[in-house]
A and B are shown apart, each in its own frame.
Chain A
Amino acid sequence: MQTRKLMAGVLVAGLLAAACGSGDEDAGGGGGGDGDAVTLVVESWRADDKAVWEDTIIPAFEESHEGIELEFQPTAPTEYNAALENRLDGGEAGDIIACRPFDISLELFEAGHLEAVDDLEGMDAFDDVARSGWVTDDGATTYCVPMASVIHGFYYNKDVFDELGLEPPTTTEDLHTVLDAIAADGAATPIAQGTVDQWDIAEVDYTGIGPNYWKGEEGRQALIDGSAQFTDPEYVAPFEELATWGQYMPDGYEALSYDDAKVLFTNGDGAIFPGGSWEITGFERDAGFELGVFAPPLPTDGDPCYISDHVDIGMGMNADTEHADEARTFLEWVASEEFAQLYSNELPGFFSLREGAVEVDNALADDFVSWRDDCESTIRLPAQKLNRGDPAMWDELYAVSSEVVNGTLTPADAAQRLQEGLDSWYTPSE
């Protein structure tokens, strides 16, 4: 009897609370509060940036743009594409869409979900390279405002390096000397990484160290125009290098995720973390030691160097938005110098794609960006055109690179599988 009464009480109370609560929500959401302010919903996969948007970016925008309010609505990165596609198809996605680079957004544009943004004020500050992630194949139409690129590199624990008298490596040979020394010492795991998530091995490792082998853009274009194949030595060699990394990773690395590896590294138990500039904020917050970064090592000393400087995030507008004018106003602000300055400094490691230098007040970010002076930039190998068919090259690369590190696939076989997959649907056009 007691339980039943309690249960009924809880039910009624819950329903009442819920009902009243939702009433409030409706009143707020209906735009009653702030006169006739329009609320733009921003879709993004950058859940990590939520606080920065809410504390800094949104207030800055709202201050200078009365009558427009923003709501940052992130979806976890793994679910973003699917959830966004569903919401766009259902006609209920947010007004502003954070754009993944290349084909994912191109498909959205071709399906009529994104608007062209060429005529927005401020777009002339983005050159062809900056636009490359969000432009139609003929180069005529840009459909997202380029926001930022990220640069790949290796973080290291300076305390561990100092203790063992090690210098950050510049060549592959140096790298192995360093790794062996750390392994021999035994206090820290040489490479903090695991292969269970797969994407980090493919995106961070293979397309991070690879450009030095396939000469950046030259090698990337050669694959696209069919003058080179994955089975050529310059694409196999990075796999051969990766095949040696498993032994430097923690025991059981096959079951460690990217996040596990981050915890391992920031706890001080790992010496080197293959990553990218997007981790600066998190690492500076979590790591209890001095951080350093070094660029992907060179196969041979004195070779020209290449870095992966990947256009990563842009902003576009939902073609179905009811607030097109306000959305355009917001995107013009995203294209402005003010935004570039704000964004780059709030999220060091996301480098503005706008022409003209942006001052970034962060030592690690400076290190990353300084590589642009000496090295040639390129983007991730399969990102453009090679990912359109089936099997998609990203999927294949995820699978084979982690298998190479796990030792369950030889570098030659990995390359073979990539090329066969590509041949099955791709005909070089140029």
Chain B
Amino acid sequence: MSGDEAMVHTDVHVVRRRARRVGARAAVHAVLIGYSLLAVGPALLVVANSFKERQAIFDSPFSLPTPSTWDTSGYETVFDEASFPTYFRNSLMVTLLSVLGVIVVSAMAAHALSEFDFRGRGLLRIYLLAGIMVPIRLATVGLVELFGSLEMINTLWALILVYIAMGIPLGIFILSQFFAQVPTELKQAARVDGAGEWRVFAVTLPLVRPGLGAVAVFTMLPVFNDLWFPLVLAPGESTRTMTLGAQQFLGQFETNWNAMLAALSLAIVPVLVLYVLFSRQFLRGLTEGAIK
């Protein structure tokens, strides 16, 4: 690495390489921008058209609303006719309580499964994890009978319990890997200090937070967007969720596209907000070894 000649040579190389790298970067951005557009396009289409007057929706469905085509009558219809605030509240309550329930219950079980050595641990794990591959929809008839006999049809609790049950297998699967990674010394130290098992659990919980984030997102998305169980277990006006409300709305205003688009747009927002809020924990949860 000495001599001017060599220096010049490297310079040319570096310049060329840099040029190539700039080109490559531009290409990477182009591809990612292109795919991002494809990803958000359909949702944007729904939102954009919800602010357009009816005729403009069909004349040029792919253009943005302009002052001359601006029309919010769809939203007015939605807020006049449908109990959207109620639906929204129901969805929020069901989603948040289900997520909370799955997290608490699976964290406890995952802690036990990775912490205690006891006979039947393997079997218990298999039993709890088997549910990952079973579609709970197959259990509909049994669920309806069960909740019927408990007189819990048309309550939000019916939904919440089903969703917690549905989320437990995956929750335990993800979290037990996190719990196993918690340094033993830490738990031992707590125990030596005379802490009870609850205390040990409480000490380890913050360490598995990324795992909790991942579980939250994986539980939240299917719960918020579920159409089936709200339809079967809680179709009543006062317990209707947002997704079901939007679906019913489609039936009610088959040809009132303004109202339909407004209802759909409103259904996009909450879960998107929740996702963005949780997404960092979610990603950390995935990158820190949960899914391998």
Contacts and interface: CB of A to CB of B under 8 A. Distances in A.
Contacts of A11: 96
Contacts of A14: 92-93, 96
Interface in B64-91: 81, 86, 89-90
A262 B144 contact: no
A90 B233 CA distance: 9
Contacts of B231: 75, 79, 83
Interface string A1-19: 0010011001100110111
A255 to B, nearest CB: 16
A48 B147 contact: no
Contacts of A47: 248, 251-252
A87 B92 contact: no
B252 A50 contact: yes
Interface in B121-142: 140-141
B254 A259 contact: yes
A18 B252 CA distance: 26
A79 B248 CA distance: 10
Interface in A38-62: 41, 47-48, 50-51
A301 interface: no
A263 B251 CA distance: 14
A419 B97 CA distance: 54
B93 A22 contact: yes
A76 B251 contact: yes
B36 interface: no
Nearest to B257: A263
A389 interface: no
A292 interface: no
A429 B83 CA distance: 51
Contacts, number: 101
Given A48-B252, A86-B141, A92 B148 contact: yes
Contacts of A18: 89-90, 92-93, 96-97
Interface stretch (B8-16, B149-157, B164-172, B179-187): B149-157
B255 A263 contact: yes
Instruction: Point out which of B145, B149, B235 has the most chain A C-beta atoms below 10 A from its C-beta.
Output: B235
A266 B140 CA distance: 40
Interface of chain B: mostly helix, strand, loop or mixed = helix
A91 interface: yes
B247 A76 contact: yes
A317 to B, nearest CB: 18
A86 B231 CA distance: 10
Nearest to B273: A10
Given A22-B93, A266-B255, A286-B255, A86 B140 contact: yes
A262 B255 contact: yes
A262 B54 CA distance: 14
A17 B92 contact: yes
A282 interface: yes
A75 B89 contact: no
Contacts of B156: 22
B280 A73 contact: no
Contacts of A32: none
Most chain B Cβ neighbours within 10 Å, of A22, A259, A286: A22
A391 interface: no
Interface of B: 55, 58, 81, 86, 89-90, 92-93, 96-97, 140-141, 144-145, 147-149, 151, 153-154, 156, 231-232, 235-238, 247-248, 250-252, 254-255, 257, 277-278, 280
27 contacts: A6-B277, A14-B96, A15-B93, A17-B92, A18-B90, A19-B93, A22-B93, A29-B238, A47-B248, A47-B251, A47-B252, A50-B81, A74-B251, A74-B252, A76-B250, A76-B251, A83-B235, A86-B140, A86-B141, A89-B145, A90-B144, A91-B149, A92-B151, A92-B153, A259-B254, A263-B257, A286-B255
